[in-house]
Amino acid sequence: MVEIGHFALVLAFALSLVQAALPFIGARTRQDRLMAVGGPVAITAFAMTALSFLALAAAYVQSDFSVLNVWENSHSAKPLLYKITGTWGNHEGSMLLWVLILTFFGALVAAFGRNLPATLKADVIAVQGLIGAAFFLFVLSTSNPFVRLSPAPIEGRDLNPVLQDVGLAIHPPLLYLGYVGFSVCFSFAVAALIEGRIDAAWARWVRPWTLAAWIFLTGGIAMGSYWAYYELGWGGFWFWDPVENASFMPWLAGTALLHSAIVMERREALKIWTILLALLAFSLSLLGTFLVRSGVLTSVHAFATDPTRGVFILALLAFFVGGSLSLFAFRAQSLQPGGLFQPISREGALVLNNLFLTTATATVFVGTLYPLALEALTGEKISVGAPFFNLTFGALMVPLMIAMPFGPLLAWKRGDLAAAGQRLFAAAGAALLAGLVALLFVDGVTAFAAIGFGLAAWLLIGAVTDLVLRAGIGSVAPSVALCRFAGLPRSVYGTALAHFGLGLTALGIVSVTALQAERIVAMKPGDTVEISGYVLRYDRMEPVRGPNYTEDRAFFGLATEAGRDLGEVISSKRVYTARQMPTTEAGIATRGFSQVYVSLGDPAANGGTVVRVWHKPLVTLIWLGALVMMAGGTMSLADRRLRIGAPARRKVRTATAGVPAE
């Protein structure tokens, strides 16, 4: 099976070369047969890659330690779920997952791109094939997951204990679906530049792919944040780690691309800008790949430190990013300007959104890469941490959050800012009230935190204002309002949900940043600690043996100050036997949208155990907001106008003989 997987991978590489060459040649020579080759070849390449991936997964499930990759990252005692997820819990396997998803998107374009012009479809498939060929070559030459060991070891070295979690089953696949999903947008942009055809129809075709990639990337980032939150035992949800930033930058660029494509579809404006964003979104995804796998960073996310791999990925980065931007520079002069609009309009609001998002992307880009560039040039090591990002990124987000509710309320082409402001009086009142209540009645709230609470309320109420006004709630009969509400386009619901989700996430971030409480105490069985109206009682410590680990499990009782029992919290210190690597398993008790977080530290001098306890108010809203944003994107994607990626041909009705046409 392993040899079959290796052969299938080689065959997929050969097919990707065919996919990159023949449709492109056919589009240039207008030969329909050559262009038609791309679709079946793309689907076959995906099938071969899937076969290769299944072969590697089977080796993990069977604990075939004659495969070097399995020996390095698995163990016979590891639970079945972690054997399966361990397939991509390493550099080689994760790159195989990357090319699997890449060929999957190429197959989707081939299968669902029937409404695309033949030449454009051929060029898109060809660019996807070229990207695939490059990464297949990378996998086969530097990261082959099917290398054999002889003689085969009896037992494996086990997977990194931090990765032995259900988060590995969710976070990387979602993240890669987002990363690689932007490759389709990239291919559409390159194909459009090659053909010189960039219009509203192109924007309509590219929007569903952008939405899909954005939805997956949002979920991947949120899941990674929550995974780090509960697994690493540090109680934080975002560290501004360089690799975290590397996933955040394409998300910001993708968000800007979504809004820019709307303007292009409606007004045929921002053509050049939209094309550039489509190129940059995937380019930033490639940058993230380089940072993770080149060895230039030391991070919990880093998979590889082989300089050869780093040089190869750098070459890929230079080829695709440099090549696409060169093509863009060559073609940009020939692009025709689009429709005109007033600064105060929905188009203007979307442009303002783009300006802030791209500036934020540039800020994160500079803060992430400047230390690496400085070290490479001068040897000096510096760190750019949370204070820089919080100050610069936060300053950009405040005006953006203020402007967001105005956008859906402004008319296309020419809007009335004063009228939109009047419609947002309720949102403004809620924001002012929320800020004042937080400042005057909540302990520990600073003026900046009060502003944050006000902005969150402004986003939440502002997001639903458009729905209320469109439905006529409060101005027409309830039955009429209900009918109007049900008849709204799904994209309108999607916009409201996405903005509402961002408001929820903002509320969670502000709450946990401003109001969280922390206690660090040395505890023995029977000791208690009070925090934010809760009483945590240390009951006992028990040794527990798992399938491939041992742990000391601490049991805590949680109660209110009045003595009402709220259940049990379990936290532990775990040691995985194969690698003798310790991990901390945090205990979390969720109360409403808030959590009590318990993490064990080292043994104390008095014979007890150091225990860190946090109360994190409304912390779950951070990830609930991300889920709502994903729901909003999914709702927009389900809109009939975007479902097929292009307008359907209108059926011409013919009058029946003998019946006069009306």
Residue by residue, what is the 3-state secondary structure of 231-250?
A: HCCCCCCCCCCHHHHHHHHH
pLDDT at 338: 67
CA gap 599, 305 in Å, rounded: 31
Question: In DSSP terms, which residues pair with 569 in a beta bridge?
Answer: 556
pLDDT at 306: 67
Contacts 24+ apart (CB under 8 A), 385-392: 385/240, 386/239, 386/240, 389/240, 389/245, 389/363, 389/364, 392/363, 392/367
Cβ-Cβ contacts under 8 Å for 662 (sequence gap 6 or more) = none
The model's confidence at residue 660, banded by pLDDT at 50, 70 and 90, is: very low
SS3 content of the chain, % helix, strand, coil (to 5): 65, 10, 25
- Alpha-carbon distances of 51 from 11, 57, 83, 90, rounded to whole Å: 11, 10, 18, 19
Look at residue 190 and tell me whether its pLDDT is greater than 90.
Answer: yes
Taking Cα atoms as reference points, which of 443, 225, 199, 456 lies closest to residue 338?
A: 199
Look at residue 558 and tell me whether its pLDDT is greater than 50.
Answer: yes
pLDDT at 13: 98
Look at residue 188 and tell me whether its pLDDT is greater than 80.
Answer: yes
CA gap 548, 77 in Å, rounded: 6
Angle between helices 447-471 and 478-486 (to 10 degrees): 100
Look at residue 659 and tell me whether its pLDDT is greater than 60.
Answer: no
Cα angle value 388/389/392 (rounded, 5°)? 85
Phi, psi for residue 70 in degrees, rounded to 5: -70, -45
The SS3 call for residue 221 is helix
CA gap 634, 631 in Å, rounded: 5
Expressed in angstroms, the distance from the first to the final Cα of the chain is 67
The SS3 call for residue 544 is strand
pLDDT at 271: 87
CA gap 41, 47 in Å, rounded: 10
Taking Cα atoms as reference points, which of 118, 90, 125, 236 lies closest to residue 619?
A: 236
**Mean pLDDT on 10-18:** 98
Instruction: Determine the distance from the C-alpha atom of residue 170 to the mean position of all C-alpha atoms in its chain, rounded to a whole number.
Output: 11
CA gap 464, 431 in Å, rounded: 14
Give pLDDT tens digits for 322-373: 999 999 999 877 777 667 788 899 999 999 999 999 999 999 999 999 988 8
The model's confidence at residue 308, banded by pLDDT at 50, 70 and 90, is: confident
CA gap 107, 39 in Å, rounded: 7
- Alpha-carbon distances of 64 from 84, 168, 332, 473, 622, rounded to whole Å: 13, 21, 53, 64, 41
Q: What is the pTM of this model?
A: 0.93
Average pLDDT, the chain: 91
DSSP state, 153?
P
CA gap 315, 294 in Å, rounded: 11
Label residue 477 exposed, middle or buried (CB < 10 Å: 0-12, 13-18, 19+): exposed
Q: Which of 119-123, 235-239, 441-445, 543-547 has the lowest mean pLDDT?
A: 441-445
The residue type found at 563 is G
The SS3 call for residue 593 is coil
CA gap 650, 636 in Å, rounded: 23
Q: Are 88 and 96 a contacting pair, CB within 8 Å?
A: yes
pLDDT at 295: 62
Instruction: Determine the distance from the C-alpha atom of residue 566 to the mean position of all C-alpha atoms in its chain, rounded to a whole number.
Output: 35
- Helix (DSSP H) and strand (DSSP E) numbers for the chain: 21, 9
The residue type found at 462 is G
CA gap 291, 296 in Å, rounded: 6
The residue type found at 333 is Q
CA gap 603, 608 in Å, rounded: 6
Cβ-Cβ contacts under 8 Å for 474 (sequence gap 6 or more) = 468, 481
Taking Cα atoms as reference points, which of 644, 617, 187, 633 lies closest to residue 445?
A: 617
Q: Which of 53-67, 286-300, 304-318, 339-353 has the lowest mean pLDDT?
A: 286-300
- Alpha carbons within 13 angstroms on the beta-carbon side of residue 650 total 3
Give pLDDT tens digits for 381-420: 888 888 999 999 999 999 999 999 999 999 988 899 999 9
Task: Supply 530's token pair.
Answer: 């009070």
CA gap 600, 381 in Å, rounded: 33
Look at residue 652 and tell me whether its pLDDT is greater than 50.
Answer: no
The residue type found at 239 is F
The SS3 call for residue 522 is strand
H-helix or E-strand spanning residue 518: strand 517-523
Cα angle value 641/217/453 (rounded, 5°)? 95
Give pLDDT tens digits for 504-544: 999 999 999 999 999 999 999 999 999 999 999 999 999 99
Residue holding tokens 């690799």? 243
Taking Cα atoms as reference points, which of 439, 410, 438 lies closest to residue 424?
A: 410
The model's confidence at residue 475, banded by pLDDT at 50, 70 and 90, is: confident
Question: Checking phi first, is residue 532 left (phi over 0); if not, alpha (psi -120 to 50) or beta?
Answer: left
Q: Cis link prior to 151 (omega < 30° from 0)?
A: yes
pLDDT at 290: 84
pLDDT at 297: 59
The residue type found at 393 is F
Q: Are 12 and 103 a contacting pair, CB within 8 Å?
A: yes
Phi, psi for residue 437 in degrees, rounded to 5: -60, -45
**Mean pLDDT on 11-21:** 97
Share of residues in the chain with pLDDT > 70 (%): 94
